[in-house]
Every structure is written in C-alpha cells, then in structure tokens.
Amino acid sequence: MPLTNVKLLPGFDKTDTPSGAEGRWIDGDFVRFRYAQPEKIGGFAAIGQKTIAGPARAQHTWTDLQGRKYAAIGTSKVLLIYYEDAFYDVTPLDTGLTGATFTSVNGQSTVTVNKTAHGLVSGDYFLFESVTLPGGGATSFTTANFTDQTFEVITAAADTFTITMASSETGTGMTAAGSATIRAYVEIGPTIQTYGYGWGTGTWGGNVSGALTNTLNGLLQNDTAGTGGSGTSITLNSATGFSGTGGTILVDQEIITYTGVSSNDLTGITRGAQGTSTAAHSSGATVTEITNFIGWGQQTTTSSVILDPGNWSLDNFGAILTATIRNGKTFTWDPRVSNPLNNRCTEMASAPTKSVSTIVSDRDRHFIHFGTETTVGDNTTQDPMFIRFSDQENFNLYNPTSTNTAGTFRLDTGNTIVTAVNGKDYVLILTDQAAYTMQFVGPPFTFSIRQVGTNCGCIGPHAAVYADGKVFWMGNSGGFFVFDGTVKLLPSLVEDFVFTTDGDNLGINYASNQIVFGAHNSLYNEILWFYPKGTPTTGPSVQIDRTVTYNYVENTWSTMSLARTTYADSTTYANPYATEYDSTTVPQFPTIQGATNKFGSTTYFEHERGVNKINLNGTEEAISCFVQSGDFDLPVEGDGQFLLNIRRFLPDFKNLSGNVSITLGTKDFPIAGNTTTISFVVNSATSKIDTRVRGRLANIKIENSALNDNWRFGTFRADVSQDGMR
C-alpha cells in the first residue's frame, strides 16, 4: 500500500476530545513548536554557585556605562546582585535597634537576644553592629562571631528572640550581658499569598509583627495524635507565653487548636483545624501562635497583617538599579560608586514610601509610582489607583511646580493598579479591570493618559510582557490579551486547561494569582506565563509549577510543567536567565548563621544551554519530554466507519541525537482509552519500522528520557490501509 502522510497541525488543542482534535497535538511536556513542528526544549544549567534565600519574585538585567552586566533578583527575603557568576547581598536594612543584650548557657549553641519590643519574628534575617561582650570568662564567643554574618531568628517572643551560633558556649555563660545594635533586613513579605484562604488573612504563610513562636520538641506524624504519634499533647521546646486557657497554633501549613498548657506541652489538641489538612512535621519545626489573627470574613483591625506575597518592581534609571517593595518603599543601588558590590541599597530620597509598583518611562525618563501616596511620605494616604511621577531625569523630585514636569493622576476604572509595562512609545497601565496608555506629550501636561480597554484586567504584577511591538498579558478572570494599539482577546485552544480545574485541566490557582510571571523568550518568539496550578485532586499549588507558552509568530500554544518563578530574556546576556524555587531546601546565600529551610531556596539557571539539566554540583539530569497526538482515522465512506491497519512507518526527525521512543496507540471507540499500544526505539540509523496495529482510531506519542537525547520531529509517513468494517 502507498504511504500516507498523517498531517498534524502545530500547537496543542486541549479544548476538544482526543478524537475531536484529529490532526492536532493534544498534550506534551518540555516541548515547543518551531517551524510548525514539535521539538524538545533547550537545556538549562545552574549558575551563581549557590542557592538563594526565598522564592524569587522579580528579576531585572541591565548593563552599566562601562559595559558591566548585572542581574538583580528580588526574593521574599532578600535583594541580590548577580555579577560574574557570583551573588552579592544588597538588601536594604531597617533602622537599628540599640541596647540589645545576650544570654548564653555553657555547652549550648543557642543564644538569647534580649531587646524590649524588638518586633522581629521567627525567620527574620538581621545583622549585629557595635557589639561589645563581657570579659572575665563569661563567654567564649568573640565579637567577630556576631558581626561577620547574617543571622536568622529561630524563635521569638515579645522581648526576646533566639539565634544559633556556629559553636557552643564554653564560657560560664552570659546573663543579659554585653550590648549590640540589631539591623534587620527590610520586611518584604511572605513566601506565599494568603489572600482568599478561608482560615485567616494572616495565618497561612502570612506575617504578623511580634507573633509568638517556638519550635516542636519531637515530630508530629501525619495523623490526629500528638508528639510521636500518640496522645493529645504537643511538646514544645518552651511553652512560655502560650495561653493556659487554650488557643490556636500554626505548624507549617496545618492549623491546630489546644485547650491548655502543661509544662512545655500544649494539651487537648485538635489536628487539621479550620479547614487545613493534617501533615507530618519534623522536630524543630516552627510553631506560631495565631489565636488572635484576623479570620476571613472578619474586619481587619491591624495594618501589620500582610496579604500579598513579598514582591518587587525592578528597573534601571540609567546605570542605577531602582527597587520597590510591593506596597512598600523604593530603594536604589548605584554601580558607579567605589566598590559598589559591597554596598547595600539605600532608600530613594524624597520619594513616596508606599507604592504598588514603579517603572522608569523609557522614552522620557520619568520615575513613575503606581498605587501610591496622595501625600508623599504619609503611607496612610496610599491610593491603589493613584499615579505620581517625578520630574524628568530626577527621581528625587515629586512636588509639581511650573518649572518641572512632576505630576499626579488618578485612574477611575478598577479597584487597584496591578502592573505597568513599557511599550514602544507609551506605558501600558493595567488595573484589575481595565487598560490605560500613558504617553509623554511634554509640558504643561507631561503625560496623556487615556483608557483603551475594559474587562481586560491583569492577573498579577508580573503577568504582562512587551514583545514584537505589542503587550501581552494574562487576564484577571481568564483569557489572554494583547495590545497593539487596540486591546484584543487572544484566541487559544489551551484556555480551558489553564483557567479551569474541570476534569483533567491543570487550571490556575486564583488564590495565588500575584505570583504569576510572564516572560519573553526572543530566541524562539515565545511569550511564557508561569503559574501555580489549582487542581482539585491534589489541592492548589501555592508556588509556580506550570507554564503556558504562546508563539506569537507561528500563533501556536503549548503547556508544560517547567516551574520558573522569574525569567529574563536574552537582552543583557546571550541566553535567558530564570529562577526555580524549592520549598524544602536550606539556602546557601546569603551566608546565614542558623539558616533553616523555613523559606526554601531558589536556584538560578541559564536557559537554552545544551540539552540537559545541569545542577549546581555539576551533575547532569535528562530532560524527559513527550508530545501526544489526537486520534486519526480512515475517512472512507464515513468518518471512522472502517478499521485501519498500520503495517509500517518511516521515522522523520531533524537534529536527532540519542534515542526517541515512538508509541502507536489504537482504540475502537473515541471515549475509550487505547486498547493497544506498541512502542519502538528510534535513532539516527533507523530507516523504517515494521509493525502491525489495527483499530478504528490511532494516535502517536513521541518521547525521550535519557541524557543527551534531543530531537525535532518532521512528518509521520505510514502504511495505513483499510482493515474491515465493524
């Protein structure tokens, strides 16, 4: 029989059934479409030599006036500069807390720091300055043991907190002795988004200043019992401060109630309270007292409850890095000064102190604050729809006069400004409901601001991307949009898969929408959105674990499980740079004394490098990928009327290295799964495959799983003949 070319259109069709998606690809992982054919994505290699504290939420790359290349990475814990394959800590510090003293015990590495109303909580990072220690053999620790490193707060009460030293005390011990100044890292925000969860707006991943914390003395199993898997009591290292009449605690992501305290035990516990699930917790896990946290549906009465995850707006004003904490202050880092990598960011003088985000307008160089203060310096006047811009070329001048170009404007459609992105000659501003353009027109009005779209709000602060003269973004309530002079909805055959959790759809977790990250890969004409899935079977993800990709030149869509919390295009560097978060590992940078895995760590990757994954230790892992077709049949005397028989096929690949597996599947009815599957290993020496499979419908799957495997598919030519009627 003559060979038949089974044509398959590029991109995924995840809207139709496998039978309805005839002539299309329906699923895959770690593949992209180029020149209308699927291929394995490029490899990626870890860079920077160490992992970073917390999940990265923003990344910006730029080149200074001397041609030096930098990347700034903002996580929920720190702000770092990447330069010449190394990281440098430039996180700004809070105002110093003077008069702290130390308490230590012979033979123990735990030191208690005494400072009334210090405001620190478990997990905070800080430095010591101006340390003096008592003499007379009271302590074996030296001043350098305290001043040469960053510390993590292990447990915290209202007037004391504990730290872990690198060695144990061999002196007699200090009792509220010595003195020091505490310089805490600025508060950026929690590692996960808390808004929208029914068991408290400041509990699950949130942060309340001064909350009572301690640690487990023994493990909790994934059951309903207490410490060690028995009884109804939980043992802490210290129950001091916990209510003797009962209360509520948070351990990792599980909420537990208790009815009393006995010595260091919390008694009468109830596991998995307030809608959370029981889980295993290791000895030493942090226990946070949350009895007085504000619950969902109750009026919030304290401004110290943080709802959104820690986030940044990063840009460069010439050579100077500008960094704004979401709903916080703005800082700068100047590479032009002497030894800049030894300097920390400093607060931008005369600027607003609370803004949703900031940006530098490319064409005219105004520094623009969005969702900012109506009165500069008074953070109680923050208006989420208010815009304030500086004088041209001067980010320290915001008071409008007749001799400068500073000014203000308030938008009126929406509840909050979500993000803003530079277009070709405008700034596109996206609220949760509408789109506006902000265009420089010069004095006396400086900017023209006009609404260009409604019902097209953006889902998150980093979900909008400029590429190819257009701005692309993920919608606040579903769908993808593009602005090319007019706001348009982008048609997509993966929309249901991304935005709903019905059936097998790995839809987005809207309760973690703030961490969605959009990116441009100009090497392959791709817009990528990284998002946390909200699958009902396994529970919603609170960190990014999925990707949806749009090729804007070939107009194709695909999805995969690549998890990247930030991504920078190949503009400063030759290849894209991206970050991956692991919630279970201890960070290696900054060097933190007593570091825990409370906030996990981030690895920095160079993408489109080779064909494998290369870890920080140099070991390589295969990138396993696959692509699956929809069903095809014989269109003879009625669609699917006759059974088909495949006797042979000719493999057709470009750039085939190593092996790939081709699986032929057949089924008799569309609603059924494959009744027959047969797989063949193909390499560059394979010219044809003889086989014998039959069924009413057939499909193919191409995959690889070994190191150095790489491929781009061509065509599927097969000997497909009629094999009877059923």
Helices (H), 441-505: 495-499
| 180, 148 contact by CB (below 8 A) | no
Q: Which of 461, 486, 510 is the last residue of a domain?
A: 461
* Residue 223 C-alpha from the chain's centroid: 30
The Cα 643–Cα 722 span in angstroms is 6
The Cα 405–Cα 365 span in angstroms is 11
- Residues 436, 356 within the same domain: yes
CB atoms within 10 A of CB 301: 7
Range of the domain at 180: 97-184
Matching residue, tokens 């990014």? 544
| 679, 612 contact by CB (below 8 A) | no
- Residues 368, 451 within the same domain: yes
- Residues 641, 705 within the same domain: yes
- Residues 357, 457 within the same domain: yes
- Residues 361, 457 within the same domain: yes
Q: Which of 428, 443, 461 is the last residue of a domain?
A: 461
What distances in angstroms separate CA 283 from CA 160, 168, 214, 590, 593, one per listed residue?
A: 22, 20, 11, 25, 19
Q: Which residues, 6+ apart, have CB-to-CB distance to 504 below 8 Å?
A: none
Tell me whether residue 519 is in a domain.
Answer: no
* CATH code for the domain of 103: 2.40.30.20
Q: Report which residue type is found at 212.
A: L
Matching residue, tokens 């130390």? 102
- Residues 16, 112 within the same domain: no
- DSSP SS3 for 625: strand
CA angle, residues 404, 408, 414, in degrees to nearest 5: 160
Task: State pTM to two decimals.
Answer: 0.86
What distances in angstroms separate CA 703 from CA 105, 677, 685, one per listed residue?
A: 60, 14, 17
Q: What is the pLDDT of residue 301?
A: 37
Tell me whether residue 284 is in a domain.
Answer: no
Tell me whether residue 716 is in a domain.
Answer: yes
How many residues are recorded in the chain? 726
352 cis-preceded (ω within 30 degrees of 0): no
* Residue 255 C-alpha from the chain's centroid: 24
Tell me whether residue 537 is in a domain.
Answer: no
Tell me whether residue 267 is in a domain.
Answer: no
Q: Which of 134, 158, 184 is the last residue of a domain?
A: 184
> Residues in the chain with pLDDT < 50?
195-210, 294-306
The Cα 596–Cα 584 span in angstroms is 9
Tell me whether residue 119 is in a domain.
Answer: yes
- Residues 439, 369 within the same domain: yes
Q: What is the pLDDT of residue 625?
A: 97
The Cα 466–Cα 287 span in angstroms is 43
- Residues 31, 101 within the same domain: no
| 414, 451 contact by CB (below 8 A) | no
Tell me whether residue 354 is in a domain.
Answer: yes
Tell me whether residue 333 is in a domain.
Answer: no
The Cα 529–Cα 497 span in angstroms is 13
The Cα 575–Cα 562 span in angstroms is 17
**Number of domains within the chain:** 3
- Residues 355, 454 within the same domain: yes
* CATH code for the domain of 646: 2.60.120
